Structure 1
Amino acid sequence: MGRWKICCVVSAILVVVVVVVSVTLYFTLFKPKHPKIILQSVTIESVRLAFPDAKGNVTLGLTVMVDNPNYGGFKYDNSTAYINYGGNLVAEAPIGEDSISPRSKKTISTSVIIFADKLVTGRDFWSDFFIGAFNFTSSTTLHGKVNVFKIFKLKGSSSSYCNISVFLHNQTTDSVCTYKIKL
């Protein structure tokens, strides 16, 4: 009978140690971290405008680098990035389904067509046009699955909200983004 008690005590201690180590690893090493989404470049691919009707469009080429600092990969579904100017939706950019490996960086390129008639309705359009700088906001939510060590598969989403300034004269951009992860 004494051997069974020793076996049970050792097993209980082992279970407690495994639980403590697992919880500690989860809240330190494996704690989900926000991916860094860096707008690398915005280029003006084409401009087709017809005045005075303000018909036409501006096509912007976007290159975004996503840095995944997590120990889990993320496979996301098709999504859309929404771009606003002056509170009005002026463009949508499709984001095709893909995956980002654990602790890696991925470059994503897409084209965004901004329709001039929607852009011109912004209250600050003409002053921004003459200054040569436009301030946009973008919002994106990617829904998918997080895969940690090919063992744990969890549903998750990553959202980003960015303030983007586009400077026409030198064709440069500046952006500040905030991120949120839900598992």
Structure 2
Amino acid sequence: MDITIENPNYASFRYHNSTAYVNYHDLVVSEVPMKAQLIPARSKINLTTSADFMVGKLIEDPNFWSDFAYGTLNLTSTATLPGKVTMLKIIKFKGTVNNGCDISVNISSMAVESKCLSKIKL
């Protein structure tokens, strides 16, 4: 999968190796490795990674078959990216970005729609 990470701030952010989690009704159904990267100030990067879904856990959930029949699976993802913020190439301090996404998968068209919210803690 391709993940686009946008940094709208005037400082760059370098995060450490991390793991994002995909949940279905509060049940973790996938872990997504995120390799360390630098996100320059006011720019976007594309991160290519893979997500191995635990299909057994997914179909054992009592909500799965009714959601499947309805035609939409709603998932959430969370990621915590600890790292370092750099301003003007000389001012450096620790920061953590917390990201949460609501993901909707349309079964028949295989279209995916997501809405994400990120917060940085310095």
TM-score category by the smaller chain?
Answer: over 0.9
| Structure 2 alignment gaps of length 5 or more | none
Identity %: 43
Aligned to 1:169: 108
Contact 1:76 1:145 in 2 (8 A): yes
Of residues 94, 100, 119 in structure 2, which corresponds to 1:155? 94
Partners of 1:171 and 1:63 in 2: CA distance: 16
**RMSD value over aligned CA atoms?**
1.1
Partners of 2:81 and 2:2 in 1: CA distance: 17
Of residues 65, 77, 93 in structure 2, which corresponds to 1:126? 65
Deviation digits for residues 44-71 of structure 1 (CA, Å, limit 9, x no counterpart) = xxxxxxxxxxxxxxxxxx2221221111
Contact 1:165 1:174 in 2 (8 A): yes
Instruction: Between 157-166 and 64-73, report the one with greater CA deviation.
Output: 64-73
What amino acid is aligned across from residue 118 of structure 2 in structure 1? Answer: Y
Partners of 1:136 and 1:122 in 2: CA distance: 13
SS in 2 for 1:102: coil
Partners of 1:131 and 1:82 in 2: CA distance: 24
CA displacement at 1:152 relative to structure 2: 0.3
| Larger relative helix fraction | 1
Partners of 1:116 and 1:65 in 2: CA distance: 25
Of residues 4, 22, 25 in structure 2, which corresponds to 1:83? 22
Larger Rg, first or second structure (1 or 2): 1
| Structure 1 alignment gaps of length 5 or more | 1-61
